[in-house]
Structure formats: structure tokens, C-alpha cells
Chains A and B, each alone.
Chain A
């Protein structure tokens, strides 16, 4: 019965007060950490982008302007709450929460710390109870993140529709098409990770990546990581895939009509998603809270204990990806809509599917005792033939359409 909540040694056996309090404490901590991380991410992004553009950026509120987000939040809180006359009032009010809640839910399954080194499974003992440094470790693990990311579409989609205005609607139609398209590539690259680790649980995935050579980015052969990174950027609607809120074309995209606290919720959800997606990349491909270790030598941070050190490592790794996301924003120009769809459907999905088949073939070959290189070359040849067929089909249809005089 307790499996409904989570597979956690804390929750087996009868329900007592101490485990319940620990769970409540974890909920509060994860929520506060999530909010704080988001707040700092907004500041970090503004500051780094300012640096890249030779500006100073926020520098008034607090040291280095670190409290700027708080100031903005308070300002938004006291602004007038507008509801457009032509809007669908119920859905209009509901949409910000549909965007905000999924952003937090994904954070629940990320292992935030714990000692995974030397075959440990990341369990820590708090107040005499064994538990994990993650809010929930559901049996479906990483599928939970995929489910939540597919739910997150609703917030944006309904926000645009319920505003009762043209530009938000265009933004939300773009958003839903984009997110549905890239979800397939995202799921297939996650499937590659699940295939090599053999488990869905996020803590299980982290536990398998004990040394640098065991990190999934190397084990899966780097391609799924790149696909995941691109698809995740598209899922987040961040530049260069921010067609959803292309301000030159759509005023402000799906959230044009929103003001005050509701706008703040969208803004928060967007940055929260960036943080969780970075943490998810680190969990899936870069060992999560595992320290960097080559062979038998481990880079150990002295003084602090191993379990807490996991949190430090996670933080450092996540920071790298957050920086990369900001870097993307400062560097890359926005995609055109047909380029976006071409990249998603004709490049990323075939590439991730092909790579997945290659990995699967290697595993089958391994258990059947076939020669590794023969299997790889044979699979690569098959994939090459299928890809050239796909290209041929595309070229034929393009030629046909050109003869018909239809663009694209």
C-alpha cells in the first residue's frame, strides 16, 4: 500500500510520526530550494548575459544585485491584476498554475545528494530512519519526468487560448506543436539511457555512474546527450527555440495578456523548468551527485561528509549546464518555424531512433556473443540504407511540391 507514495525505505512498515515529519520536512526543503534556485537563476541569467553583452546588469538591490528578482517579485505582486474581457475566465485563471505546478513536480524525483560512491545506494540516515536525499523515488522514475513534461504543455496552451486574443493564441499553437514534436526525440534519448542502465529509477541511474568512464554520456556514446540537450532546450522554449514568445512577431507570446502575480507564475515556471531540466541532464548523463572519479582515484572535497558532498557536486554540475543555457541565449539567433520542424522531425527523431537501435543491437550482440565490430558495422549499414531511403522520399516529395508550385 505504501508504494502509492514512493519506494523509499522510510515508508515501508507502519506509518509513524517521525517518517511523516521527515517527508514533510523534505517537501518544504525541496520547495524552498526550488524557489531559491529559480530566484538565483533569474539573477544569474541577467548578470551573465549582461556580462556577455558588455553591460553591468542588475546591481542595485543587494550585493551584486542578487536581490533583484525578489524586488521584481514584490513589484509584480502589488500590480493590478488584469483579466481581459474576452477571455475565458476560469481557464485564464487556471493556466498559470498548470504551468507552475509541473515545473515543481519534476524537481521531486531528482536525487539531490547522498553517498553513491563505492557501491552505496545513496541512502542516508536521518533521526534513525533510512531515507534518500530526494523527495520521491517512484518506481516509474524517469517516466514521471516525461509524464510531467507532457502535462506542462497545458499551461502554455490554455494560457494562449483563454486570453481571447490573436497573438497569444498563435504563440500557444506554436508552443504545443513544438513541444509535442520534440517530446518524441526527448523520450527516445531517455530510452537510450534506460537501455544501458537497465532501470527507470533516478537513484538507480545515478548509482550506475560511479566513475567517469561509467557516466551515461560516455556509455551511450554522446549522441543521446546532444539530442536530449537540443530537445530539452526546445521543450523549455528557450532560445534558440523561443518561437513561443518571439517578441518581434507575437508581442509577448502566450503570456501577453497576463499581468501581476499570474505573469510572475509563468516567469517562475520558465526558469524553474530550466533548473530542473539541467538537473535532469546531470542525473541522466553526468552522474548526478556522484563525484568525479577516474579509475580508482576520486576527487574528494575534504572536511564535508560524503552525503553532503553529493549535493555540492550536483550543484557544480548543474551550474555548468545553467551557464550553457544562458550562453545559448546570448549566442544563437532564433530558428525559423519550418527549420524548427525540420530539425525535430527529419534530424533529431531519426537520429535518436537510429542510435537507440544501434545500442540495442550491441546489447543483443553482447548477450549472444557476436563480434562487437561486425554488429556495429552491420547495424550502421542498415541504418544508412534506411536513412538514404528517407532522404530519397523527402527529395521526391519536395520535387513534387515544387512542381505543384507550393512552397515548403
Chain B
């Protein structure tokens, strides 16, 4: 049963991920991304991380990709892109090099830490797995006590991003945008 769930979810993730990079139409690519995110949510559920699965669906599938689609629709770039002409010529070879590099690093990490992967995770108190509320309580306790600094710094980062967006998109007085694109 566990293997079956894993194979199905992994297939979803892979099909979605391949779809994201092979589809010419940006909307189709975004939908493939949703498939990938759902697959990951299923994997979370299979590992008893129900809360993470819910957050995965609410935040990533429900908010972020919706915003992607929103931008695609508003800007009207939803026509299939012509990929035969290259805007940045060095882009593809560079992408190939970086891709192979990242894959190599991941494989190296797996090979190196083979023994560590076989050991079951020790950070989780498995007694709380049966009680879902306790699971969430444990998560929130570690976020808001042990890792509260990282948490606050992340929220400050997001706030800076929002303020930055507002400042950049706001027109200065008397300085009207000339081009009407």
C-alpha cells in the first residue's frame, strides 16, 4: 500500500515537473506545476505530515500558482511562446551545465550519506503521530520557540519585499510614464 501510494505520487510529481518545462503554453505549464505540488502533498500525507500537506495545498497550489495564472492572464502572455529564437544566446548551454552540476551534487550527497538515509528520522516524537493536534502543537512549539528568530527574519524579509514592490511600482509625482506599452 505504501509503495503503491509512493509510486502514484512520484509519477504525478514527475509528469507535472516534465510538463512545466516542456509545455509551450504558460498556462499549461502552470497547471503542470499544480500537479507536481499535489503529488508532493500526497507524499506528505503518506508520511503522516498532514498539516504540511494542507499548507502545501493552501499556500502553493491555492495561492502562489493562482497568482502566477493571474499575472499570466492579466499580462496576456498566454499565447504559446515561440522558442525557436533565443533572447539570451548563452542561456541554454549555461542551463545545461548548471543542471548537470546540480544533479551531480544531489547524487553525490545521496551516495555519501547512504548510511544516514537508512536510519529512521529521530527528530520527530513518534508518539504524537497518532494524535494530529499534538503533531501541530509540536510543530508550532518549535517554530515559535527554538526557531523563532529564523521565523521572524523570514517575515521581515517578506515585508521588505512587499514594501519594495510598492515603492518600485509607485509613480513619482509629476513623473508620468511616457511610453504607452
Contact = CB atoms under 8 A, between A and B. Distances in A.
Contacts of B69: 157-158, 161, 176
B5 A150 contact: no
Nearest to A161: B73
A151 B35 CA distance: 12
A232 B159 CA distance: 28
Nearest to A160: B73
Interface string A146-158: 1101110110011
25 contacts: A1-B2, A3-B50, A3-B129, A4-B45, A88-B25, A88-B27, A91-B27, A91-B31, A139-B132, A140-B51, A140-B54, A146-B58, A150-B58, A150-B63, A151-B57, A151-B62, A154-B34, A154-B66, A157-B70, A161-B27, A161-B69, A180-B70, A183-B62, A403-B173, A404-B173
How many A residues touch the partner, as a band?
A: 35 or more
A88 B74 CA distance: 17
B133 interface: yes
Contacts of A293: none
Interface string A58-74: 00000000000000000
Contact of B50 (A138, A153, A169, A199): A138
B58 A161 contact: no
Nearest to B65: A154
A140 B53 contact: yes
B155 interface: no
A147 B70 contact: no
A138 B44 CA distance: 14
User: 10 nearest interchain CB pairs?
Assistant: A150-B62, A139-B132, A143-B54, A147-B57, A140-B54, A139-B50, A140-B50, A147-B58, A147-B54, A150-B58
B167 interface: no
Interface in A189-224: 198-201
A383 interface: no
B116 to A, nearest CB: 25
Contacts of A144: 54
Contact of B73 (A173, A187, A200, A404): A173
Contacts of A173: 70, 73-74
B171 interface: yes
A312 B132 CA distance: 30
Contacts, number: 90
Nearest to B135: A139
How many B residues touch the partner, as a band?
A: 35 or more
Contacts of A90: 28
Given A4-B46, A146-B58, A173-B73, A198 B67 contact: no
B127 interface: no
B118 interface: no
B10 interface: no
A273 interface: no
Nearest to B74: A173
Contacts of A146: 54, 58
Contacts of A172: 73
A324 interface: no
A176 B66 contact: yes
Contacts of B14: none
Most chain A beta carbons < 10 A, residue from B73, B135, B171: B73
B46 A150 contact: no
Most chain A beta carbons < 10 A, residue from B54, B55, B135, B171: B54
A157 B51 contact: no
Nearest to B60: A150
Contacts of B154: none
